[in-house]
């Protein structure tokens, strides 16, 4: 009775009904929310370590401000979950595990001061870029799925991640990279 029965397996497997696509997209949306929820929680533990190891005043200030925002990102995600009728659940984000590990390695392999600060900025910006990519995708998914409240909240966080990234770029350009390059001539012995 159905023409799809005669279709080659490859073709029919590609053809999903609209509702299947919608459900698949929604599952992916929820799954990615769990991933970033885990990542944000992990960052509330990781950023204080970066603050501890940083020396540049502006950097400490920027990280401290973003730690507060990150805590808000955790609770905002809980609101996103509830707005779509899902339970807030965290699922280990392997990318964030790696990014945090890399940040720790940089902090352990550099001496306190400008070079370590430059390393902290680099590690923090990689984290921000991951978050920007994730929230950009989640925002698009929420819009496609007609989850307007979730989309608004995700966009708010996306903008804060972008602002944090720009602040870090500004600090790197204005002070740390220049100063770190300047210590070239200071050989001890
Ligand atoms: Fe965040
Ligand atoms: Fe962030």
- The pTM of this model reads 0.86
C-alpha 118 – ligand 1 centre gap (Å): 21
- Count of domains for the chain: 1
In this prediction, residue 44 carries a pLDDT of 98
Q: How far, in Å, is the centroid of ligand 1 from the Cα of 136?
A: 12
Tell me if 4 is assigned to some domain: no
Is 77:36 a contact under the CB 8 Å cutoff? Answer: yes
CB of 59 within 8 A of CB of 122?
no
The reply to whether 81 falls in a domain is yes
Q: For residue 1, what pLDDT is reported?
A: 44
Note whether residue 34 is domain-resident. Answer: yes
* Mean pLDDT confidence for 50-56: 97
- Residue 71, domain CATH: 1.20.1260.10
Indicate which ligand has the atom closest to the C-alpha of 128: 2
Query: For the chain, what percent of residues have pLDDT higher than 90?
Result: 79
Residue 188 has what pLDDT?
44
Q: Nearest CA to 119 among 57, 58, 177?
A: 177
39 CA to centre of ligand 2 in angstroms: 10
Q: Is the pLDDT of residue 135 over 90?
A: yes
Q: Provide the domain limits for residue 83.
A: 21-179
Model pLDDT, residue 9: 53
Asked if residue 49 belongs to a domain, the reply is yes
Tell me which of 108 and 22 has the higher pLDDT: 108
CA of 131 to the centre of ligand 2 (A): 6
175 lies in a domain? Answer: yes
Q: Is 52 left (phi over 0), alpha (psi -120 to 50) or beta?
A: alpha
Distance between CA 158 and CA 137 in Å, rounded?
10
Flag whether 8 is in a domain.
Answer: no
Question: Domain for residue 184, yes or no?
Answer: no
pLDDT above 70 as % of the chain: 87
In a domain, residue 55? The reply is yes
């Amino acid at each position: 009775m159905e023409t799809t029965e005669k279709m080659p397996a490859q073709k029919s497997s590609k053809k999903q009904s609209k509702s299947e696509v919608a459900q698949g997209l929604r599952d992916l949306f929820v799954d990615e929310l769990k991933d970033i929820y885990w990542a944000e929680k992990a960052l509330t533990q990781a950023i204080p370590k970066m603050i501890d190891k940083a020396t540049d005043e502006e950097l400490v200030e920027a990280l401290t401000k973003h730690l507060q925002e990150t805590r808000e990102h955790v609770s905002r995600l809980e609101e996103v979950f509830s707005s779509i009728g899902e339970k807030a659940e965290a699922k280990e984000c392997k990318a964030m595990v790696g990014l945090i590990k890399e940040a720790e390695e940089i902090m352990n392999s550099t001496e306190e001061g400008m070079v370590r600060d430059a390393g902290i900025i680099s590690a923090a910006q990689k984290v921000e870029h991951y978050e920007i990519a994730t929230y950009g995708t989640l925002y698009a998914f929420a819009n496609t799925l007609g989850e307007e409240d979730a989309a608004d909240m995700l966009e708010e966080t996306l903008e804060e991640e972008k602002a944090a990234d720009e602040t870090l770029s500004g600090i790197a350009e204005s002070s740390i990279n220049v100063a770190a390059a300047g210590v070239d001539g200071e050989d001890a012995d």
